[in-house]
């Protein structure tokens, strides 16, 4: 079946029991592949942002610079592995000798960007989102579209509902996100969210402020660094 068609069919309602079962097996295999690829990457900070901005754009250089600073803290920079601001973040990590990994979404972004040390190809979008969140201890949200907003609110919702620890979420570029932050304040005013829900979201244009926020809310609070060393199991053919 053509890439993407099986997911469309699965979400279209009940299928035969065999089709439902085989789809679950495919999902299981996707997760196992992701776990094997990313088990040894260390504590990550995941960058969410648009694939559409070229290297000449200011957002690209901003993303690259932020990633440099975060990589210097000892974090692995994780992205969706594609072009645009994802590439910029991975490139920033490599600029300073940091580690850079990605989860590539097939078939949308079929080639990984050239600044990745390691990547895993993922067929199902919800598997990719889970992996991007599972290994991360902070999230950086850059200018983007529907996908970026989906990833932002996934992280916020999981934090709000205590499905993940209260890791920091940093939204960069006040001007681009002004309408979004105004809407968040409107939801708080209407009491559909609380003040507490917004406490781990930092909206800023300052990289120094973002770094201090990560140090306080992630490194100091959870003692993430230095990384706990995991030993690959040879009988599982694991590699770092």
Average pLDDT value for the chain? 90
pLDDT digits (tens, 9 = 90+) for 93-126: 999 999 999 999 866 656 899 999 999 999 888 9
For residue 179, how far is the Cα from the chain centroid?
Answer: 22
pLDDT at 30: 94
- HSE-CB at 207 with a 13 A cutoff on CA atoms is 13
Give the number of other Cβ atoms within 10 Å of residue 41's Cβ.
Answer: 18
Please write the tens of the pLDDT for every residue from 133-162. 999 999 999 999 999 999 999 999 999 999
CATH numbers and ranges of domains, the chain: 5-221 (3.40.50.450)
Tell whether the model's pLDDT for residue 1 goes beyond 50.
Answer: no
Q: How confident is the model at residue 72 (pLDDT cuts 50, 70, 90)?
A: very high
Edge-to-edge strand ranges of the sheet holding 169-172 = 118-122, 100-105, 76-79, 44-48, 136-141, 169-172, 201-204
**Is residue 139 exposed (0-12), middle (13-18) or buried (19+ Cβ within 10 Å)?**
buried
Query: Contact 50/145 with Cβ under 8 angstroms?
Result: yes
Q: Has residue 52 got a pLDDT over 80?
A: yes
One-character DSSP codes across 29-95 = HHHHHHHHHHTTS-SEEEEE--S---TTSHHHHHHHHHHHHHHHTTPEEEE-S-STHHHHHHHHHHH
In this predicted structure, what is the pLDDT of residue 144? 96
Quote the CA–CA distance of 206 and 71 in Å, as a whole number.
16
More confident residue, 158 or 226: 158
Identify whether the C-beta of residue 232 lies closer than 8 Å to the C-beta of residue 239: yes
């Amino acid at each position: 079946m053509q890439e993407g068609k099986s997911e469309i069919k699965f979400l279209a309602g009940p299928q035969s029991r065999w089709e439902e079962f085989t789809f679950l097996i495919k999902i299981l295999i996707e997760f196992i592949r992701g776990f094997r690829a990313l088990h040894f990457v260390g504590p990550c900070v995941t960058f969410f942002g648009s694939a559409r901005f070229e290297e000449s754009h200011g957002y690209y250089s901003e993303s690259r610079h932020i990633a440099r600073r975060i990589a210097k803290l000892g974090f692995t920079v994780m992205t969706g592995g594609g072009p645009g601001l994802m590439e910029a973040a991975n490139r920033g990590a490599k600029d300073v000798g940091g580690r850079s990994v990605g989860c590539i979404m097939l078939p949308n972004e079929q080639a990984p960007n050239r600044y990745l040390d390691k990547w895993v190809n993922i067929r199902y979008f919800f598997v990719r989102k889970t992996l991007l969140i599972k290994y991360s201890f902070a999230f950086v949200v850059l200018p983007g579209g529907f996908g970026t907003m989906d990833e932002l609110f996934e992280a916020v919702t999981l934090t709000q509902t205590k499905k993940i620890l209260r890791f920091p979420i940093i939204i960069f570029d006040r001007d681009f996100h002004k309408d979004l932050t105004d809407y968040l304040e409107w939801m708080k005013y209407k009491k559909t969210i609380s003040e507490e829900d917004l406490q781990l979201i930092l909206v800023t244009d300052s990289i120094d402020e973002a770094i201090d926020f990560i140090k306080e809310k992630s490194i100091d609070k959870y003692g993430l660094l230095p990384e706990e060393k995991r030993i690959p199991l040879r009988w599982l053919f694991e590699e770092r």
